[in-house]
Structure 1
């Protein structure tokens, strides 16, 4: 019977130590596909941020942007984006509350060029984008600028509370730990992305397996009866929400779980 697996990227497909992709994961995913199973990435990253090294592993498709942008067999079957007006509401809220915001879409990531980046983690992420050769938009007020989702870094809880008075109208807030938050449009998640793909291939939830390591994976881990937490998952409470805990990503966790569930 054909099965389908959905993998988060950071800390799941990639090593929690250095961000590399373990060769064991690449080999296991390719073997699972050769055995007639479907392999999908299911990530908070938008498609433009799914680096070639991830795509070259070999997948049947991608659920990107926490279910807002879905690709099956090379075809884009769903793309949900926000209006320019909503995007500008968020930009104004970020400026008013002095939080670092990064807009994400299928074509770009964008920092606010008007405001200096403050939070050290936001600076580090900006430097990482530059190192990868990203060209980021500089005219966010342009009428054709929109976002699919976004993330913020804040300094204190009062900032976050003030910002969310605006964002909560349209977006769910995902606690990624510390002073980092991810925002996804209401009605979309990694779980809705899975159901879309299952409907496309006429598969049941019992045929599907989700692999993750963090809070933004919780919707898909909770949605499926076959759910896998990496041994490096954080917070540790995720271990109680899944049907199987595998080894750490850096310790061949994907290969171990795919073997356990008879994909190989």
Structure 2
């Protein structure tokens, strides 16, 4: 038995068609028939996993970069930012003029004011389409959340992002997603820690682990795994840790990689 761990966006879910290719669905069905486990391993918190992904016949969802782990509909592990620390991060975002939003298990949290950063507003609209981010604003504070995503404009003199990073580094790991976007994750957690937890839970060796991804927040699991599969369109930061480059998600990349490794 092996276990396959999939990123969502531009790995299983096409950014072009907004669908999971039929070939990927067939591949998942076949690997499960062959006795392997299939798990989603995402930076998204569970509330923001797209419905099309939640409907997949998979064994588990590892969310929030290793902070919320579900297997067979049972929550095996969860870690949240404390209300005290969470309030401090919100205050620091305001102090240092940082644009972004907060990601929780149950909801997403945006500022009550309109952001000057279009990616933040486009994310707000996308989350609102799923019924998220509407009830509680960041400014209300006093709620738990799991991670942050920020966008910075280094040309903005009011955006003191270096001071912000220095103020949070004791409790937060910072992932550069490029183009001014940063994913801020509870220190010590990552997609790799999620896999290690599940590997031990399932009693697997590292040689039985296969990871699929395309972006910089997949780097930790690529460093961790022996069998790391990058989609054809991927962040070059993954190259040193990639064992195999497959085709794009739209051109049956997931299915082709499964064939390459003899999983189907």
Smaller-chain TM-score range?
A: over 0.9
Summarize deviations over 1:36-66 as a string: whole Å, max 9, x none.
1100000000111112210212110011000
Task: Name the structure 2 match of 1:5.
Answer: 4
1:243 corresponding residue in structure 2: 243
Is the contact between residue 42 and residue 190 of structure 1 (CA under 8 Å) also seen in structure 2?
Answer: yes
| Counterpart in the other structure of 1:33 | 32
Q: CA RMSD in A?
A: 1.5
TM-score (norm 1): 0.94
CA distance 1:123–1:67, change in 2 (3 Å):
same
Kept in 1: contact 2:110–2:133 (CA 8 A): no
CA deviations on 1:15-52 (whole Å, 9 max, x unpaired) are 24243211111111121112111000000001111122
Residue number in structure 1 paired with 2:262 = 262
Q: Which residue in 2 is equivalent to 1:76?
A: 75
What stretches of structure 1 of length at least 5 have no aligned partner? Answer: none
| TM-aligned CA deviation for residue 249 of structure 1 | 1.1
Distance 2:241 2:58 in 1: 26
Alignment of 1:78-157 (within 5 A): 78-113=77-112, 115-138=113-136, 140=138, 144-156=142-154
Following TM superposition, by how much is the alpha carbon of 1:142 offset from its aligned partner in structure 2, in angstroms? 5.5
SS of equivalent to 1:173:
strand
1:170 pairs with 2:171: yes
Q: Secondary structure at the match of 2:210?
A: strand
By how many angstroms is 1:133 displaced?
A: 2.5
Distance 2:224 2:137 in 1: 39
Kept in 1, the 8 Å contact 2:216–2:237? The answer is: no
**Counterpart contact for 1:105–1:147, Cα < 8 Å:** yes
Give runs of ≥4 in structure 1 deviating > 4 Å: 139-144
Number of residue pairs aligned between Structure 1 and Structure 2: 261
1:141-190 alpha-carbon deviations (Å, 9 max, x no partner) = 66750111110011117532121122212101000011110011111100
Structure 2 residues not aligned, in runs of 5+: none
Name the CA distance, whole Å, in 1 between partners of 2:238 and 2:183.
Answer: 18
Alpha-carbon distance between aligned partners in 1 of 2:247 and 2:136, rounded to the nearest angstrom:
42
Maintained 8 Å contact 2:48/2:127: no
Q: Could you tell me the TM-score, scaled by structure 2's length?
A: 0.94
